Each structure stands twice: as C-alpha cells, then as structure tokens.
Amino acid sequence: MTWSFLGQTLAGGILLGGIYALLASSVTLIFGVMRVINFAQADFMMLGMALAFALNYFFGLDPIVMAIPVGLALALAGLPVAGVLERVPRGNQDAQLILTLGVSSVIQSLALIFIGPTPKVVLRPYTNEYFIIGGILINHARLFAFIAALIMMFGLYLFLTRTWTGRAMRATADDPTAAGSVGVNVARIHMTAFIIGTGLDGCAGSVMVTFLGVNPVIGSDFIMIMFLAVVMGGLGSVPGAALGGLLVGLIQSFGAQFWTLQLQNVSLFVMFVALLLFRPQGIFGFRLRA
Amino acid sequence: MWHNKISRRIRFAIAAILLGATPALAQQDVNIGLLAPFSGLWAEQGRLMRIGAEMAIEDINKQGGIKSMGGAKLKLVVADTGATVETATNAAQRLLSSGNISALDCCWLSSFTLAAREIAERLHVPILTFASNDGIVQGGYKYIFRSGTGTDLQVRTSIVMIKDAAAKAGGKIQTGALIGDNTAVTVSYFKNLEELLPKNGVKIVLNRVWTPPLSDAIPVAVAVRDANPDVIFLGTTTFDDSVAIIRALNAVKIKRPVLGTGAQFLTPEFFKALGPAAVDGVMATQGSAITKNPFAAEFLERFKKRTNEGWTVHNTTSSYAELWIIKEALEKAGSADPVKVRDALASMNSKNVQATAFLGVDVHFEPNGQNAGALNFIVQWQDGKPMLVSPPEMATAPIKMK
Amino acid sequence: MSTSTDVRATFSRARSWKSSYIVPLLVFVAFLALMGVLQSNYLARLIALVIFWGALATTWNWVGGYTGQLSLGHAAFVGLGAYLGYALEKEFGIPPWYAMVLAIPLGAVAAVLIGAPTLRLTGVFFSLATVVFPITLQIFFTYWGYQEALIPPKPNNPYLYMQWDDPRMYAIVFATLLLIYWFFDVALTRSKWRFYVGAIRQDQIAAASVGINTWIVKLIVFIISGSGACVLGVVYAQMLFVVTPETVFGINVSLQAMVLCLVGGIGRSYGPLLGTLIVIPMTQALEAYFESSPGVAQLVYGIMLILVILLIPNGVIARLQELPWFAKRKAATSDGQRAARKSIPSASSFDATSQVGISARDADEIVLQVEDVRKTYGGVIAVNNVSFAVKAGQFVGIVGPNGAGKTTMFDLLTGFQHPTSGKIHLGATDITGLPSHKLARMGLRRTFQVPRPFPMFSIYQNILLGALAVRNRVEGDLEGACWRALDSIGLSNRAAALAGLSTPSQIRLLEVARAVVSRPQMLLLDEPLAGLDPAETNELIDILQELHRRGLTIVIVDHAIGMVAKVVERMIVLDNGSLIADGPPDEVTHLPRVVEAYLGTRWQDA
C-alpha cells in the first residue's frame, strides 16, 4: 500500500465522481423537483453521446467544446417527454414510472434502428494521453471532462440560486403546494426542470463520449448510479448532487481497491440502503416533508 | 400496396401466434434459422453474424441452391434472442416449433446456446454454433454441432504458441497475469488457464476479475505493471472494458504480449478507439479467420465492398462457414427434414472451400458434435492491420513479440 | 390512485362464495381440458409464460397494488427461487418439487430481510431502496460462479424432475399455482384485511391513527408476496433450463410485473391477469412480426406503454367498468347496501352510553397524565417540562399563540413524536414512546388538522375502519356500532358515498365519528374548527358537546382561544413551550400572563 496507490485510487474516484455528479445534478432536477423516477434519464445521456459523436464524425467538432450545444439540443428533445409526463396526474407514481419506461424503450429502440448496435467512438488527441504526476496517472480526456462537468455544475448552481426561475424550482422541490400557493406555476416549473435535466444529461453524454463508446444500451450502466448518487447527496440541491456523485465515485474506487473488485458496487448499495434508513434526507439535503 | 403487404404480414403474425407457425413460404425454399442477439448489450455480435449468414445464403443461391433438391433455394429466417434467457428460449421455441426450419445457426452467447440446444434437442433440429464454452458439446446432446474450438483447446494451443514465439524471440514465458470480467465465457477461459498455465511452467502472478462494466481501468493496469508478468491474458467481453483496459495498459507503459479471446479486440471500432500504436501487438483467439486461402481473401474483398468496414472477425466468417456446412448437409440429405440434416451433419466429411478457407480444416464432427480438427486461430494487430499469426501453416503474417 | 371496486362496493361480503371459489375452479378444469387438445408446442409455451407472468404479477399486486408500495425488488424472489431449485438439484439431486416447498420459507426470510428495513420508507424512496436488492443478488450470484447455471438434464425422469419436453405440463403447474394464488387473493379481498391494506394504500398516517400497525401489515403482505414469487421462480428456472443472473434477477423482471399490473388495473384482482393476457401475447406477436428488423418490436412496445398510460391511466379494468354491463352491476350492489341498512336498529332506540359506545367511568379517575414532558430539536426547546392531568369525562382545551408548542404537544400525546424526557400515562399505563397505532388501540384517538379521510372508501367504510383494528373495544355487532356512529353525525343517508367526494365539513365530522366508533378513552382534536363556517362550527361543537355529555373525555388543541373558551370546561395555555395557565376558561382568559402571551410582551414594554 503506497502513497501513489492511494493517490491513484483517490484521483480515479474523483474523476469518476465528477461525471456522476453532473449526471446526478440532472437527476436532482427531474427526480428532486418532480419526484418522478425517470427511467429514460440515462437514455438522454446516450443520445447526448450519440449527437456529440455525430458532430465529431461529420464536422470534426470537439465533444467537450460542443457540450453546451448538445445540451441545448437534448433539452429540446426532452420537451415532448416533459409535456407527456405533465399530462399524468401528479403523485400517480406508478403511471409516471411506466411512462418513462416506455420513453426509455422508445429511445433505445430508435437508437438501435437509426444508429445501430456498433459502438461509436470518438478519438481526440487527448483520448489516449495521460498526465503522470508523482506516479499518479490521469487521463486527459477524463480530466477535461471532469473540469467541464464542474463548470457546468457551477453554472447550474448559479442558475438555481440567482434567478427567480431557479429559486422557484428549489421551492417547488421543497414543497410544491407551498410553492403553488405563493404564485409559482408548478406545471411550468416541472417542465422547465425536466428539460434542463435532459439538457444536462446531454452535456454529460457529450463530455463522456471522449473516453467511452456509445451504444444504444450504454445508459443501463449509469441509470442506477445516477439515482443512488442523488439520493445519497440529498434531493433538490446541486451541492448535494455533486457531493453524492463524488461520494459514489469514491466508494466505487476505494471499494474496488480495498474489497473485492467484483463486489465493488455491493459496497455502494449497502451504503445507499444504510443512508436511506438512517438519514433519509441525504447527507446534504433538507428534511423531507411527509 | 404497402398496406396490402402489411396486412398480409399481420395476418401471418396472427396465424403464427394462433397456430405456432411462422409464415408459410414457397415450397421449394429451405429455411435456415439464425438465432442471435440483435438487440440489447450483445446486439453488435448478432449484427456481425448476420452479415456472414446473409452473404452465405446469397452465394449458395447464386451458385444454384441445393442441387440434390432440384436447386432449392435457401432462405434465412432470423430471430432475436434479446438480452435474457427467457427471450432467447421464446425465440428459439417460436422459430423451431414452426416445423419448417431445417437447421439453426445460433446464438453467440453460450448461455443462449445452451438454452436453445435444449429446445432443439426436444424438437429435433440441428444447431450449428461457434460458442466456445466447454459445456456446449458436453452432456450427450445429439443435435448440437460446433464449427470452432472449445476453450480448453484454445487455451492449450495458445500457451504453446506464446511460449514458442517467445523462445524464438529469445525470451522466456515464466509468469502470466489473468485480467478480465466475470462473464461466463471469461470464467471458462480463466478456469482452463488456471489449470494449464502451472502445468506449462507459467506462474500466475496476478488474477484480477471484475463485474462489468469496469469503472476505472487504471488501478488494474497498475497492478499488472507491479506484477510484471511475461504475458497478459485478457478476458474482457464488452467493448468499453476492452478499450479501457488496453488504453490503461498503454498508459502504464507495460509492453508485454496481450492475448484476448473473442471478436471484440479485432473490430474496426476497437482500432478506431485506440489508434494504431495502442493496439499494436494485441492478439485475440478466434474460432475462424481469414486464412491465406485465396477464397478467404476474395471473401474479405466482397465483405469490405458490402459493408464499408475494413476487415472482419470470426462472427462473420464462422457464420458464413456454418451456413455452407448446413448447405453441404442438405445436399447430402437431399431433404429439408431437420432429422435427416442432422444425420448428414453427423456423418459428413466436408472439404468445401467455403468452410475450410475460414476453419482451416475439413469439417468432420465427433459424436459429441465438436468439429474434430477445429483449430485455434490467433489474430494479431500489426501496423494497423489484424493479421492471422497462428496456426503458422495458414498464417498471413509471422507473430511479433515485443 | 385509482378507486377500487373491491373495497368500494360492499359492506361485508365482497363477492359471493360461489363466484369466488367455484367459478375459478371451473375455469381451471376447462383450462385442463383445453391443454388436453392443444397441439402447438409454441402456443403451449406461450400459454405457460402468460400464466407464469400472470401469477407473478398477482403476487406483485398484493404489495404494489393492494398496499400501494411500488416494489422494484420483486426479481429478488424469483431469482432466489430459480437458484434454489437449481442448487438443490445440482448439488443434492433433490427434485424441484421439494424446492417449491422450501421456496416458501426462503421467500419469507428474504422478504423479512428486504422488507423489514425498507418498508419504513415511503413513496419513491421505498422503490429505490428495493431496487438494489436484486441487483446485489445478481452481483453475488455472478461472483459465486453461477453465470450460467444449467439444470442437470434428467431425461429419464421428466415428472420427478419437472423436465417435460411438452410445455403444456409447465402451463399446468403454473396454472395450479395461479389457482392457489387466486384463492388467496379472494380470501384477502373478502377478509377485513382488504380494509387494512386499502387504508395503508390511501393514507399511512391515517391508517396508524385508527390503530393499524402499518409496518407489520405491509411486511406480512410482502412476505406472502415474496414466498409466492419464490415458488414461481423454481418452476420458471425449470422451464428455461438455463438460469443466468441477468435473466432472473434483472430489473426487467420487477418492471415487467409492474407493467402488467398497471396495464390491467393496479390494485384489482383481475388487473394483473388482464394485463398479462394483453401484454405478453402482444410482445410475442410483435417480436414474431418484426423478427427481421431489430428494435422495431421494442419501439412499438414503448409507444404502446406511453399510450396506455395517457389513455387509460387506471388500467383496462377501469375502462371496462365504464361499459354499460358493469355499470348495471354496480347499481345492483348499491341496492344491496340499502337493503342491508334496513336490518339495523333505527337511530332513536339507543341509550346514551351505547350510542357511540363510550364507557362510563368514575369522575375522578385520571385518564391522561403528562409529567415533565420535554421535547427539543437540536438546541430548540419546543415543549419545556409540561405537566398536567386530564380526568375522565373532562372537556379540555389546549391553546396558545403560534409557536407555543401546541402541535408538538399534540404529536407527543398521540405518539407521532416522542418526548426527549418526561412521561405520559394513559390510565395506569405508561405510553411514553409507544407508536401511534398502539395508542389508537389503547383508546387514544385523534383527528387531523388537515383531515385525512380514506378518500377511496365510502363514508361507512371509513367509520368501519375506525373500529376494525380495535374490534374488542366495540360492544355488540360492528355494523350496528358503525351505523350508530353515522347517525350521530347525521351522515347515514350518505353512507355509501365516497369520502373523497364529500364536503370538508362532512369529512371533519367523519373523522370524529371514525374516532369515537371505537369507544375511545379519550378523543384528541387537532385544530378542528379551522376552515369551518359558523354553521358548520356550531354543528361540530353540538356534536362534541353531546359526546362530552355522554361521558367522553375530549381534548381540543386550537389556536382560537375565544372559540375554545366557549366550549370547554377547562383550559390549558401554552406559551414558548411552557404551561402558563390551567383552569376554567373564564378565569384563564383573564390572567395577565395569558393576555400577555396572546398580545405579545411588547405591549408591556411600551
């Protein structure tokens, strides 16, 4: 057990956690504000990856630079889904869940039909390069993706704390009835939260495609992690989601090194259930109303 | 017109549900089933198989169909295994219960093949496969035939090949590392390695297994670097894990022979993701390959033209060869009856170039269904091209050791 | 949430014995006959699959539908059953028939381990907590080397080892299990448990307030559901022949069960069966039809799911019930209710104590004793060492300005929160720290500031629920007690109306009746007068005073000191968490300390 080994584990966990954090921020908007388990969430990420791939493939555009435009496109793609979701009576969780399941099925099959099952990769000059600092290896692509994720999360944080819409969104996450009674148009806020959420998924997908191939079912590798991160961090706040994402990355990273690699996610699940039982509001969250 | 076609197909589908029959086809056609994953995580594998099967059907029909059956044409009936055993068995049952499938090419994933094997045995339809798990040809099943090698033979010949190549290069293989996921095919691969490596004087210095997907490959690569093995056996099955681990091994600058198993190390996408320098020297075992037989080279040219892809892997060549084996059996049986086709397969000794150009040997099945002379092919990336390096007598290039 | 005919339509008997037990049995026999003549292998397999999923969805429906807990962990039980059958056969040569029996305790143990912690969570958090269990098992079974568990072939002994070439046999086994589950379902929907689970589904807090131990009821249902799914898993594995962790533990197994229920109609007996009959053959037909174009079948399936949710969010059953034939049947049922009403003694012929069944007591007996009760949150003191006692038959008001600690006090008294220190006695029993449902059973009943009726139950059923968990407290027959309680609040003519469709004041009266039907030792009302107009307020006060006259001990917690003072005989005033006055209303309201508390200290300083 050397310092560089510990450092490597830590760095790996943080880089991983940064991406999870961005994904979790999108969940915090959709799950946190609307209280909907959106099974299609990771599929929007997949669409973001695919779009970023296409922009690179046809126009040579860099996916990290294109993260924001890709995000905007995915926000637009989220709009019809948000509209459909708002037509389901609020609080009818089973119907909402099945609806997003249907959306997920549609997105995945459309991707299979139009993009095909072949993994699509983006090879940038930085994809296969590494910084070596004190024996610790850091992949350029993952580091750039991490930095981009931090910037986008900071932007989201500013949006949620500095703008009226953002604050209304947080108030709605906190207590929809109260928010409604002080003049917040809850339906509108829900729609806005949903499309910003899918937009963020698109941003995340765009930066991820620099080190990960995209295929129609890549989302299934991330969907669980996204929800675990956001519940662990605490609903409805970007710092909570960021912390949750980081925590998941670190648990995975250290769990892999100090326990069996094969059981890496078991340590994550155990922590998750324990946290839900003993601190249901999340590490960083406010207390949920009954 | 479109509407008419659709409504006819709907009627057929309803009939299929009610009567358990797939649409009735023109009498002279012989139906060959292709059951493979076309959706879900393994969809790419099925896609590659389908190209080979479709090319074979076209070639067979172009050269006159089944002559002993009056030039009957072959028709490919595809079915999707989906992602679980339930969907795979449903598809197998649907396909085989129709009673008009003469033989089945199937299923890439070993668990699907095992499940389909059971159904085929009960319904008396022969299956051809190249799934390498040892269990596929065990258990006394009469309707399963495997064109390629099993894992046991793969491992045995791979060890010998690596040791020989190292000796020629003036080195010695004394230690090995096993890294890979815990899917069934890797477990079978590693089990054989764990048994055979020590017997061949190779000490296993690292055994690192994970549940896919791998979240971070660097720690694994660092462990490999620290263990400093003479050879690395790679058992990753997903595309992303395979890319990540090669990328990480390059990052820690460990230059050792890397031997994987399966097509995922040899696809054009794998090359695109890593670039020529990173993949150089990586080897992978295959159940069939483009040998130096001119027919194979000609096939590759047609494949490139058809798909716009630079080269091909064993999913495509094995399916192509297996369809020709089925054709040969039909020819011999003179009947589309699957039981007769099975008997023809069991007793065949085929020298058909369309199969031998990829399998390297005459096709003759042992009582358990294993192709008796099946070879273990090893393909290596050399200067941005996948070259067949073993067995030496049909290799397109000599093996390179770093 | 949807309304449910199972609980809505009836007072005591859901369906007749004949249609509940004989008809399914006849269907089963007809099914066996059909199997006898069925030729197609594929069709037989499809039927087996439909029945398997129908049975699995039925077990999911008990948890996800009846108690309303959307479990995404159902695959855990299927997978454990599948691997149990495999392991016993592989390691010990034990036939799967024994595994089916052993699957019952295995499923039960797994359900306790999964359910005991997670059933304390609510809503989406329960769903998310349950989803990790099958995934964890999937990882472990892969880790243990069961990636590809091939059931050992036993071709010579197909009956003993459940390895039939003929899929019809699997269909028959699944159908037998389904018949058993159906009988259980019928038994459940005919017993008083249908009210318990229905109450939990609609409002867990209200369910606790009428004395239902929500956690244990949910857990019992979860255990039965888990055992049922586990048994199914054993046979499922035999039919698949190859078990892989993804196939049996995959999230899609749990989701599929849920989809089937939702399409058919969640929370109804026929829902899962109807959903399965529609969805499974449909997916198979889609796959057969779009065989050569990968992805299209899944696309159509996804679109159909979306359309189903948008067009018939309550499932196919809800749509069917709107058809004329069903509507007629429903009308017939409510006629039955009116007929049933006639057999109940008329409202005028009861004496004071038996009307709402209040037990007469000695006037000096102390019902509630609060000693030095303190509640702090972090550094904030909400209730500061408060002591008082309430005697039998007293009508007490607890008042105080905003932030005085009234709500906290109320929650402490009713067990929804527990004191940091101090003791509370009900009669001679120490009730400090007891959960609310226990207090409700001991005769300490409450109403809510924002009323919590069971909106999908009729008014009558709401009142019935008030007494159901405390049956032993009710004198004589339950129905009579319920009708008397209904009469006492003047809602007998609306007995069959849904509580959710009643006016706010009716709902408030309903809550009072729901509490007093159990002959409580004490009734606590949380801001009962808020939001009522003068006429409604007077009506409620009249009813409360009548109850008081008949000997019921009543405590009102309210902000409106003036209104309370007119009603009660004793008033306790809280300010800043401390008790500042206790006595007859006209004295208390004139105490300077109380005036100061209500007007604010600034007036003194000025």
Structure-model confidence comparison of residues C232 and A284, the more confident one: C232
Order the strands of the B377-382 sheet from edge to edge. Answer: B203-210, B175-181, B231-235, B258-261, B283-286, B377-382, B385-390
* pLDDT at position C480: 85
Structure-model confidence comparison of residues A20 and A37, the more confident one: A20
Tell me whether residues C139 and A265 touch, CB distance under 8 A: yes
Beta strand residue intervals within chain A, DSSP E: 130-133, 136-139
Contacts of B73 (CB under 8 A, 6+ apart): B28, B29, B30, B61, B65, B66
CA–CA gap between residue B314 and residue A232 (Å, rounded): 45
CA C540 to chain centre: 29
Does position A108 have pLDDT exceeding 90, yes or no? yes
Question: Mean pLDDT, to the nearest integer, of C167-193?
Answer: 94
Strand C242-243 relative to strand C149-150, pairing: antiparallel
B14 interaction partners in chain C (CB closer than 8 Å)? 285
pLDDT tens string B245-273: 999 999 999 989 999 998 999 999 999 99
Residue B106 Rama label (left phi>0; alpha psi -120 to 50; beta): beta
Strand C395-399 relative to strand C242-243, pairing: unpaired
SS3 C100: helix
Does position C120 have pLDDT exceeding 60, yes or no? yes
Closest CA to B101 of B45, B35, B147: B35
User: Which string of DSSP letters, residue by residue, matches C11-62?
Assistant: SS-SS-HIIIIIHHHHHHHHHHHHHHH---HHHHHHHHHHHHHHHHHHHHII
Q: Which of C125, C304, C305 is facing A280, going by the closest CB pair?
A: C125
- By the CB < 8 Å criterion, does B205 face chain A? no
The sign one gets for the Cα dihedral A31, A34, A39, A40 is negative
B81 interaction partners in chain C (CB closer than 8 Å)? none
Q: Which of A92, A99, A273 is facing C129, going by the closest CB pair?
A: A273
Continuous segment of H or E residues that includes residue B251: helix B239-251
Helices C193-202, C214-240: inter-axial angle, 10-degree rounding: 100
pLDDT tens string C433-465: 899 999 999 999 999 988 999 998 999 999 999
CA–CA gap between residue C89 and residue C238 (Å, rounded): 10
- By the CB < 8 Å criterion, does A221 face chain B? yes
- The pTM of this model reads 0.91
H, E, C per residue of C486-498:
HHHCCCHHHCCCE
* pLDDT at position B14: 53
CA–CA gap between residue B251 and residue A131 (Å, rounded): 9
Beta strand residue intervals within C428-569, DSSP E: 429-430, 444-446, 522-526, 553-558
Tell me whether residues C287 and B9 touch, CB distance under 8 A: no
pLDDT tens string A234-257: 877 888 899 999 999 999 999 888
User: Which string of DSSP letters, residue by residue, matches C461-495?
Assistant: HHHHHHHHTTGGGS-S-HHHHHHHHHHHTT-GGGT
CA–CA gap between residue C502 and residue C490 (Å, rounded): 13
CA–CA gap between residue A138 and residue A129 (Å, rounded): 8
> C167 vs B252, C95, C149, C173, C476, CA distance in Å?
55, 18, 20, 10, 55
SS3 C581: strand
B residues 163..192 contacting A (CB < 8 A): 182
Instruction: Label residue A253 exposed, middle or buried (CB < 10 Å: 0-12, 13-18, 19+).
Output: buried
* pLDDT at position A119: 94
- By the CB < 8 Å criterion, does A252 face chain B? yes
Q: Which of B41, B208, B272 is facing A217, going by the closest CB pair?
A: B41
> A245 vs A47, A94, A252, C14, CA distance in Å?
21, 26, 11, 50
C124 interaction partners in chain A (CB closer than 8 Å)? 31, 35-37, 93
Cβ atoms A101, A93 nearer than 8 A: no
**What is the least distance, in Å, from the CA of A125 to any CA of chain C?**
34
**What is the least distance, in Å, from the CA of A91 to any CA of chain C?**
8
- By the CB < 8 Å criterion, does B276 face chain A? no
Which residue of B178, B240, B249, B308 is the best one to mutate when testing the A interface, meaning the one whose CB has the most A CBs within 10 A?
B240
Cβ atoms A43, A107 nearer than 8 A: yes
Joined tokens for residue B166: 């190292």
CA–CA gap between residue C481 and residue C484 (Å, rounded): 5
pLDDT tens string C58-105: 999 999 999 999 999 999 999 999 999 999 999 999 999 999 999 999
pLDDT interval class at C605 (50, 70, 90)? very low
Q: How far apart are the first and last CA of chain B?
A: 62
Report DSSP state, residue B252: T
CA–CA gap between residue C245 and residue C470 (Å, rounded): 46
Please provide the size of chain C in residues. 606
Report DSSP state, residue A222: T
Question: Mean pLDDT, to the nearest integer, of C189-210?
Answer: 92
**Residue indicated by tokens 């004041």:** C505
- By the CB < 8 Å criterion, does C3 face chain A? no
* pLDDT at position C357: 44
C279 interaction partners in chain B (CB closer than 8 Å)? none
- By the CB < 8 Å criterion, does C139 face chain B? yes
CA–CA gap between residue A73 and residue A198 (Å, rounded): 9
CA–CA gap between residue B53 and residue B27 (Å, rounded): 21
* pLDDT at position B6: 47
pLDDT interval class at C606 (50, 70, 90)? very low
pLDDT interval class at B21 (50, 70, 90)? very low
pLDDT interval class at C6 (50, 70, 90)? very low
**What is the least distance, in Å, from the CA of B39 to any CA of chain A?**
7
B210 interaction partners in chain A (CB closer than 8 Å)? 256, 261-262, 264
Kindly list the partner chains of chain C, i.e. chains with 3 or more CB atom pairs below 8 Å.
A, B
Question: Mean pLDDT, to the nearest integer, of C42-65?
Answer: 95
Cβ atoms within 10 Å of C91's Cβ, excluding its own = 9
- By the CB < 8 Å criterion, does C299 face chain B? no
Tell me whether residues A5 and B39 touch, CB distance under 8 A: no
Q: Which of B40, B218, B273 is facing A121, going by the closest CB pair?
A: B273
CA–CA gap between residue C7 and residue C192 (Å, rounded): 10
Q: Which residue of A has its CA nearest to B222?
A: A5
Tell me whether residues C131 and A108 touch, CB distance under 8 A: no
CA–CA gap between residue A1 and residue B381 (Å, rounded): 35
CA–CA gap between residue B245 and residue B270 (Å, rounded): 12
Q: Which residue of A has its CA nearest to B212?
A: A262
pLDDT tens string C556-584: 998 888 888 888 999 999 988 899 999 99
Cβ atoms within 10 Å of C362's Cβ, excluding its own = 8
CA C7 to chain centre: 12
Please provide the size of chain A in residues. 290
CA–CA gap between residue C167 and residue B252 (Å, rounded): 55
pLDDT interval class at C355 (50, 70, 90)? very low
pLDDT tens string B180-196: 999 999 999 999 999 99
Tell me whether residues C124 and A280 touch, CB distance under 8 A: no
A108 interaction partners in chain C (CB closer than 8 Å)? 295, 298
DSSP H helix total and E strand total for chain B: 13, 12
Q: Which residue of C has its CA nearest to A92?
A: C1
Joined tokens for residue B327: 């054709």
* pLDDT at position C271: 93
* pLDDT at position C561: 84
Mean pLDDT of chain B: 91
The sign one gets for the Cα dihedral C536, C539, C541, C543 is negative
Joined tokens for residue B84: 């679980």
Least confident stretch, A179-188, A275-284, C548-557: A275-284
A residues 157..216 contacting C (CB < 8 A): 216
Joined tokens for residue C71: 């479990």
* pLDDT at position C192: 86
pLDDT interval class at C339 (50, 70, 90)? very low
Joined tokens for residue C600: 């604010």
Contacts of B301 (CB under 8 A, 6+ apart): none
Contacts of B285 (CB under 8 A, 6+ apart): B154, B158, B259, B260, B261, B262, B376, B377, B378
Report DSSP state, residue B56: H
A residues 92..131 contacting C (CB < 8 A): 92-95, 97-99, 101-106, 108-110, 112-113, 117
Give the rounded percent of residues in chain C with a pLDDT score beyond 70: 89
**What is the least distance, in Å, from the CA of A56 to any CA of chain C?**
26
Does position A58 have pLDDT exceeding 80, yes or no? yes
* pLDDT at position B53: 97
Does position C4 have pLDDT exceeding 80, yes or no? no
Structure-model confidence comparison of residues C331 and C153, the more confident one: C153
Order the strands of the C421-426 sheet from edge to edge. Answer: C380-391, C366-377, C421-426, C429-430
Tell me whether residues A217 and B40 touch, CB distance under 8 A: yes
Which residue of C3, C63, C66, C132 is the best one to mutate when testing the A interface, meaning the one whose CB has the most A CBs within 10 A?
C132
Which residue of A84, A98, A248, A287 is the best one to mutate when testing the C interface, meaning the one whose CB has the most C CBs within 10 A?
A98
- By the CB < 8 Å criterion, does A135 face chain B? no
- By the CB < 8 Å criterion, does B213 face chain C? no
Helices B151-168, B184-199: inter-axial angle, 10-degree rounding: 50
Joined tokens for residue B76: 């490919």
Tell me whether residues C302 and A87 touch, CB distance under 8 A: no
